[in-house]
A and B are shown apart, each in its own frame.
Chain A
Amino acid sequence: MSSVFPEYATEAARQVDHVQFFIFLVMAFWFIACNAVLVYFVFRYKRKGPDDKVSTVKGNHTLEVVWTVIPTILVLGIFYYGIKVWAGTRTMPDDKDAYVVDITGQKWSWSYRYPDGQTTDQDLYVPQGEVVKLRMNSLDVLHSFFIPEFRIKEDVVPSFYTYLWFKADRAGVYNIFCTEYCGNRHSQMLGKLHVLTPEEWAAFKAKDYFEVLTPLEHGKDLYVKKACVGCHTTDGSASIGPTFKGIIGRQETLTDGRTLTVDFDYIERSINKPDDEIVAGYPKGQMPAFEGQLTKQDIQDIYTFLETLK
């Protein structure tokens, strides 16, 4: 951040900044006016002695009317300007042409599903200069999807779909923050928005944008992007969940007293329905159930990755 004013990356954001700048001028005027008069009075009418002559004025009707009417007109003006620009940021230009991405929030990761069936996690890819609509839903608690450079934000809730839209003018990478408190790793629920140039976008659509990953690389990628990394270390230290170091083939005792050897079946069951078989000493309700989100292939790749953590 080189300047006090944050960068903007859409036309809508530029308009929001105009509103903000106008409000800032109003704020600065009233702040300086009020406090300058206050400070002036403090020095001008400083007590000189116990016999100071003071005014007996108790009020002034004209003044009361003036300083009621002026702020009223001013705030109505700001309200109107704010509503006008905001309406533009909420109303889709043309619904039919929008590129619709489905966004799912869960503790503590974002996943995206594109119209052609492609999916990505944490990193969202959109075309430059096209109207993009985000259709958002949560699998667990409240989250909020915030792109500071676009000046847009909307909560992601489990009970209904919410939406955002934007038209990104500049290619580049932008931050995505979760701004509704969602528990332990709320501050790590960070994504990146990649606005791709037409060439990059064509490659993305043709599924050539990413390098082809080996099962091991894919498994490791999922470990990071599905936010497993937040609770399961690979260095042997305990965290919110058991460490993945040496997990395959390890003897574990479950909360119900059973012991088992960690194998592919247990890994698969634990990814799909983690709360059913919790290792003793770890809390329930922390890990999202990934049933239906990961294919058998995905889980096999994660297993391949886990096997390497000796």
Chain B
Amino acid sequence: MSSTETQEYSPYLQPGGFKNWFFTVDHKRIGLMYLYAILFFFIIAGVCGLIVKAELLAPGMQFVDYHGYNVFFTLHGTIMVFLFIVPGIPATLGNFLLPLMIGAKDVAFPRLNLLSFWIYVLGAFVVILSLIGPWDEAWLDTGWTFYTPYSIDSSTGVIPVTLGAFILGFSSVLTGLNFVVTIHRMRAPGMTWHRMPLFVWSLYSASLIQILATPVVGITLLLLIMERLFGIGFFSPELGGDPIMFENFFWFYSHPVVYIMILPAMGVVAEILPVFSKKAIFGYRAIAYSSIAIALVSFFVWGHHLFVSGMSYWSRWIFSLLTFAVAIPTAIKVFNWIATLYKGSVKMDSPMLYACGFIFLFSIAGLTGIPLATLATDVHFHDTYFVVAHFHYTMQGGTVVALVGGLHFWWPKMYGRMYNELIAKVGFWLLFLGFNATFMPMFILGYWGMPRRYADYMAEFADLHFASSLGAMVNGIAYIVILGNLVYAAFKGRAAGKNPYNSLSLEWSIPSPPPLTNFDEIPTVTTWTYGYGEENT
């Protein structure tokens, strides 16, 4: 490997040009194209969210009417879920890093990987088609959950959006399949299962869910489309159908999908912590196996979304118990992450700041899940702001914070250039402050009974709504600082060198940015990924 510097080296970023990128089969380029695409939709969906929060600054309607409000919270949720956070970390960091981390030249099926991306673009295009047409009739207002019978009755663009989500599902399944085969078949000699970075373990767990759960939502959305077009009677009560069946089908996918979003985020954190503590990850096997455990248990807890749906007494009983089962592997992970810092050498550079921020915010996310799993208390919290705050702590406080932290961590590898550390830290604290200011008041509002998806609210809820909306604006500004800093670094940052953080992981053993072929020769792995403190003193 030491011969790379003397050989002719051409980074994967060159040559440029549309054709060289859109038709590439290189996993790193595909990862970057995914990154640009999902960040584009992240910004769009983020702006929709800010419009929602702006409307909620004061009681009464100020900027949009009821329909407008319903449209924007629907767009926010739909785009965030299907176009941003489901592809999320696996399609971007996962694509870029997986082969590098296990010492492979590419994923197992490079052309299938490109096809996944093309399908993603097609799906996104079909979703956008729903915006063509009169605003009051075409723009979707069902919420991202498409609950029947409202989604059957609604005059808005349910069909293009669900068809788009159906298409996007194929992209997700193919990526998952590709990753599973890659991890099984493409590991370099000596890269045993228990030497693999934990990020790879988390990708493996998420991929299993992608393969197994996605087909269910695909079929469900197809049934909904057929119901709308032909009135077959799957979900319409007047035709003998059952609207609650849709909820079951929908959450059979949409609960496990939460773990597609969060497991890779946990993997990112497990990569950052050892490097910046200069210490082996604590409880490697416990963390690795708990990823698999969470993936398995995730399939048996969807019923907690139906606790007040009219579901039977014993169904509620059983799903409450099963839901608590998720808490155990999650708690184990948190304890092991924290223990990793014990007797280490901790440097709070921005990636580490994000990793520790993740642990802080995710601990709130996880703990506020307890009253939602408990039947007595969930009945009150169900469909209130408490739930909204809880899942934003997991999705933004968890997944997005880990994604942004991971982008900082691997940015020098992806672009060969370093971001400004001070601005990165400012960005983190703005995000941390804005995020908590937005969602902490929503826990209290939910406790007071403020229902979610309300365009207007009663005067007694006004103060906390106002505080939350102000927080949201800071939250939005934070992303401008963070992304601005990263984009600037990609063009003008100082050269980073191949291993600026002294990581022992394989992706740091090759130049930054990596050559198109990754490794000139496939490396032979002889040590564990996390052997900090042993060989380098």
Give A residues with C-beta under 8 Å from B. Answer: 1, 4-6, 15-16, 19-20, 23-24, 26-27, 30-31, 34-35, 37-38, 41-42, 45-48, 51-60, 63-64, 67-68, 71-72, 75-76, 78-79, 81-86, 89-90, 140-142, 144, 146, 148-149, 151-155, 157-160, 162, 175, 177-188, 283-285
Contacts and interface: CB of A to CB of B under 8 A. Distances in A.
B342 interface: yes
Contact of A155 (B310, B344, B368): B310
B488 interface: no
Given A55-B279, A82-B374, 19 more contacts: A4-B447, A6-B447, A16-B377, A27-B367, A34-B359, A35-B360, A42-B341, A47-B345, A47-B347, A52-B345, A59-B283, A85-B376, A144-B382, A146-B383, A152-B380, A158-B149, A159-B242, A180-B147, A186-B66
Interface stretch (B221-229, B320-328, B411-419): B320-328
A155 B284 contact: no
Interface stretch (B119-127, B177-185, B451-459): B451-459
A23 B367 CA distance: 9
Nearest to A148: B449
Contacts of A160: 310
B344 A55 contact: yes
Interface residues of B, number: 94
Closest 8 CB pairs of A and B: A148-B449, A82-B374, A55-B343, A52-B345, A86-B375, A187-B454, A159-B237, A41-B341
A175 B153 contact: no
A86 B70 contact: no
Contacts of B449: 6, 146, 148-149, 175, 177
B516 interface: no
Interface stretch (B22-30, B91-99, B331-339, B519-527): B331-339
A158 B237 CA distance: 7
Contact of B150 (A34, A37, A72, A183): A183
B338 A37 contact: yes
Contacts of A5: 447
A55 B533 contact: yes
A64 B356 CA distance: 21
A231 to B, nearest CB: 10
B486 to A, nearest CB: 24
Nearest to A186: B453
Nearest to B374: A82
Contacts of A68: 328, 332
B420 interface: no
Nearest to A159: B237
A157 B338 CA distance: 46
Contacts of B373: 79, 82
Contacts of B335: 34, 63, 67
B379 A157 contact: no
Interface stretch (B107-115, B136-144, B258-266): B136-144
Nearest to A56: B533
Given A34-B363, A72-B328, A181-B453, A19 B376 contact: yes
22 contacts: A4-B447, A38-B341, A41-B342, A54-B343, A57-B343, A63-B339, A64-B286, A64-B336, A67-B331, A71-B331, A75-B370, A78-B324, A86-B374, A146-B383, A153-B380, A178-B451, A180-B383, A183-B150, A184-B70, A186-B454, A187-B454, A187-B457
B532 interface: yes
Contacts of B281: 58
A216 B303 CA distance: 49
B70 A183 contact: yes
Given A52-B345, A142-B147, A158-B243, A151 B379 contact: yes
Given A42-B348, A155-B308, A179-B384, A31 B376 contact: no
B455 A57 contact: no
A23 B386 CA distance: 15
A15 B448 contact: no
Interface string B309-330: 1100100110011001001100
B153 A140 contact: yes
A30 B369 CA distance: 13
Contacts of A47: 278, 345-347
Nearest to A188: B456
B345 A48 contact: yes
B515 to A, nearest CB: 29
A4 B386 CA distance: 13
A232 B347 CA distance: 64
A148 B448 contact: yes
B188 to A, nearest CB: 22
B277 to A, nearest CB: 7
Interface in B454-512: 454-458, 460-461
Given A30-B367, A86-B379, A52 B324 contact: no
Nearest to B324: A75
A79 B324 contact: yes
A54 B347 CA distance: 13
Contacts of A181: 70, 142-143, 147, 150, 452-453
A65 to B, nearest CB: 10
B282 A42 contact: no
A86 B363 contact: no
Nearest to A30: B367
Nearest to A90: B313
A104 to B, nearest CB: 14
Contacts of A85: 376
A46 B278 CA distance: 11
B37 interface: no
A177 B384 CA distance: 10
Contacts of A152: 379-380
Nearest to A180: B383
B345 A45 contact: yes
B279 A31 contact: no
A6 B449 CA distance: 8
A122 to B, nearest CB: 15
A59 B533 contact: no
B189 interface: no
B295 interface: no
Nearest to A239: B65
B150 A79 contact: no
B39 interface: no
B280 A57 contact: yes
Contacts of A142: 147, 149-150, 243
Contact of B360 (A38, A158, A162): A38
A56 B274 CA distance: 11
Contacts of B316: 86
Contact of B451 (A75, A141, A157, A177): A177
Nearest to B337: A38
Interface string B275-294: 00111111111100000000
Contacts of A51: 537
Contacts of A20: 371, 376-377, 380
B534 A83 contact: no
B383 A83 contact: no
Contact of B342 (A16, A46, A57, A78): A57
